[in-house]
Amino acid sequence: MARVLIVDDSPSQLMGMKRIIEKLGHEIVTAEDGALGVEAAKRERPDLILMDVVMPNLNGFQATRSIAKNPDTSHIPIVLVTTKDQETDKVWGIRQGAKAYLTKPVNEAALIQLVKELLPGT
């Protein structure tokens, strides 16, 4: 079982992703904005982070960059999960340190496949 941090300011999106990840048997930690997500990543040391982009306080691009540049958290794979579906957004997200990019509404099969790829052996 792995620990997955889900960072999203939408309660319905948070619950939807939580339901999918829990079906895989993983433990869930949540945060409601980018700043809280960065703190949770430092405190909880999750095995994977699912990060929204459009959030208050610190957006997902900024939070991803902060986590990816911190030596204590840089090893944690981050998947950006967002409504921002332009190619430039995807390129920018990967440049900030994300390992993958999914658009909302989340395709359950695609999310499960990605989690299995980024958490081998779980």
- Structural domain boundaries in the chain: 3-118
Q: Using a pLDDT cut of 90, give the percent of the chain over it.
A: 96
Q: In this predicted structure, what is the pLDDT of residue 22?
A: 96
User: What is each CA distance from 16 to 22, 70, 104, 121, in whole angstroms?
Assistant: 10, 29, 11, 24
Q: Which two tokens stand for residue 90?
A: 């995807």
Which phi and psi angles does 114 have, rounded to 5°? -65, -45
Digit-coded pLDDT (tens) for 64-114: 999 999 999 999 999 999 999 999 999 999 999 999 999 999 999 999 999
In angstroms, rounded to a whole number, what is the distance separating the alpha carbons of residues 52 and 80?
6
| Whether the model pTM is above 0.85 | yes
**Whether the Cβ atoms of residue 44 and residue 68 lie closer than 8 Å to each other:** no
pLDDT bucket at 122, cuts 50 / 70 / 90: low
Q: In this predicted structure, what is the pLDDT of residue 121?
A: 74
Q: Which fold has domain 3-118?
A: Rossmann fold (3.40.50)
